[in-house]
């Protein structure tokens, strides 16, 4: 019987592990297949407080993992395939094992949203990517397209100019949504060309990607851009399939939580992007991760009939 199982290895899950570990709950953290979550796919995290020169996303999550392990977290590289929250203790099945646990912290995060156009699925991993940090290196002196206009799209487009000879940023509107400091850097970068008011209609190629067919949303005109790869940053979808019908989700599939990270099932808490409504950032993920762990500790103490002292001081 576990005291607390944490699903997810991004900043929210790792922070929950740090806090649960310091409460001597010996947390079991099941990583999932995307080690480090979205943060780990970020080339450079500039706005996580405490690192004035920025830090690589992978490096940051590795530091957090060391910290979690220092306080007794057991990190299990495995993926949850089934979660039964209808009984207590909860039952968590992975590829490798079945666990019973008194409390559960869901920090499964989000996955990249797909464009849903012909060729996208076909060329996934062979020219269609969602992670510049992971795959940028393969596009040395090549031409790539980045789809999207938010922070992630523009930051990763800038990162890709380290490798690529040219980076098109294809955006369906006529202005970017990225923070201004990021926008400015993109405008000043000679390798970046903005393609406004346009969407990708098809990914073209034979063995590998050779181009994208784009459509101007204002006049309906179509054209082809010759590119060797496409990186997509058009939003995210929450990883909540395992919990459908068991937990209250909002209309977009995110887990509903209160300000103490309680879900609709007592003893089940959610943290990080999978429940975040205001701002999905490492800075917010660590906050909700910390709260979820402390609430799990309280839940367990109450289960065991220990009146839990007020933590105000």
Residues that bind its own copies (CB under 8 A): 11, 14-15, 18-19, 21-24, 46-52, 55, 60, 63-64, 66-67, 70-71, 113, 148-150, 152-153, 173, 175, 177, 179-182, 184, 233-236, 259-261, 277-279, 281, 283-291, 294-295, 309-313
Shortest Cβ distance from residue 184 to its own copies (Å)?
Answer: 7
Burial (Cβ within 10 Å: 0-12, 13-18, ≥19) of residue 244 = exposed
Residue 135 designated active-site? yes
Closest CB to its own copies among residues 45, 92: 45
Sequence-distant contacts of 210-214: CB under 8 A, at least 24 apart? 212/145, 212/170, 214/170
Catalytic residue among 131, 151, 228, 273: 131
Shortest Cβ distance from residue 229 to its own copies (Å)?
Answer: 20
Closest CB to its own copies among residues 63, 122: 63
Catalytic residue among 53, 78, 121, 134: 134
Shortest Cβ distance from residue 24 to its own copies (Å)?
Answer: 4
Report phi then psi at 83, rounded to 5: -135, 125
Closest CB to its own copies among residues 88, 113: 113
Residue 141 designated active-site? no
Residue 121 designated active-site? no
Shortest Cβ distance from residue 84 to its own copies (Å)?
Answer: 28
> To which residue do tokens 């590829």 refer?
95
Do 109 and 63 meet the contact criterion of CB atoms below 8 Å apart? no
Closest CB to its own copies among residues 126, 277: 277
Closest CB to its own copies among residues 94, 288: 288
Catalytic residue among 53, 78, 135, 258: 135
Catalytic residues: 131, 134-135
């Amino acid at each position: 019987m576990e005291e607390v199982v944490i699903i997810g290895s991004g900043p929210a899950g790792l922070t929950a592990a740090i806090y649960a570990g310091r409460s001597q709950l010996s947390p079991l953290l099941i990583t999932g297949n995307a080690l480090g979550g979205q943060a780990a796919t970020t080339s450079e995290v500039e706005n996580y407080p405490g690192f004035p020169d920025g830090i690589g996303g992978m490096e940051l999550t590795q530091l957090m993992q060391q910290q979690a392990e220092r306080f007794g977290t057991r990190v299990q590289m495995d993926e949850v395939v089934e979660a039964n929250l209808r009984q207590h203790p909860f039952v968590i099945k992975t590829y490798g094992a079945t666990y019973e646990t008194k409390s559960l912290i869901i920090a499964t995060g989000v996955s990249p949203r797909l464009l849903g156009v012909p060729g996208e699925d076909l060329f996934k991993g062979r020219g269609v990517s969602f992670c510049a940090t992971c795959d940028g290196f393969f596009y040395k002196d090549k031409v790539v397209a980045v789809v999207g206009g938010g922070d992630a799209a523009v930051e990763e487009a800038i990162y890709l100019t380290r490798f690529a000879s040219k980076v098109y940023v294809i955006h369906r509107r006529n202005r970017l949504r990225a923070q201004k400091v990021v926008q400015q850097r993109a405008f000043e970068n000679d390798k970046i060309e903005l393609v406004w008011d346009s969407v990708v209609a098809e990914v073209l190629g034979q063995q590998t990607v050779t181009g994208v067919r784009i459509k101007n949303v204002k006049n309906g005109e179509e054209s082809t851009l010759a590119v060797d790869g496409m990186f997509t940053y058009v939003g995210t979808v929450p990883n909540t399939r395992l919990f459908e019908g068991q937990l209250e989700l909002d209309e977009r599939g995110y887990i509903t939580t209160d300000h103490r990270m309680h879900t609709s099932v007592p003893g089940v808490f959610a943290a990080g992007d999978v429940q975040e409504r205001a701002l999905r950032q490492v800075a917010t993920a660590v906050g909700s991760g910390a709260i979820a762990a402390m609430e799990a500790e309280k839940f367990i103490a109450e289960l065991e009939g220990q009146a839990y002292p007020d933590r105000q001081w």
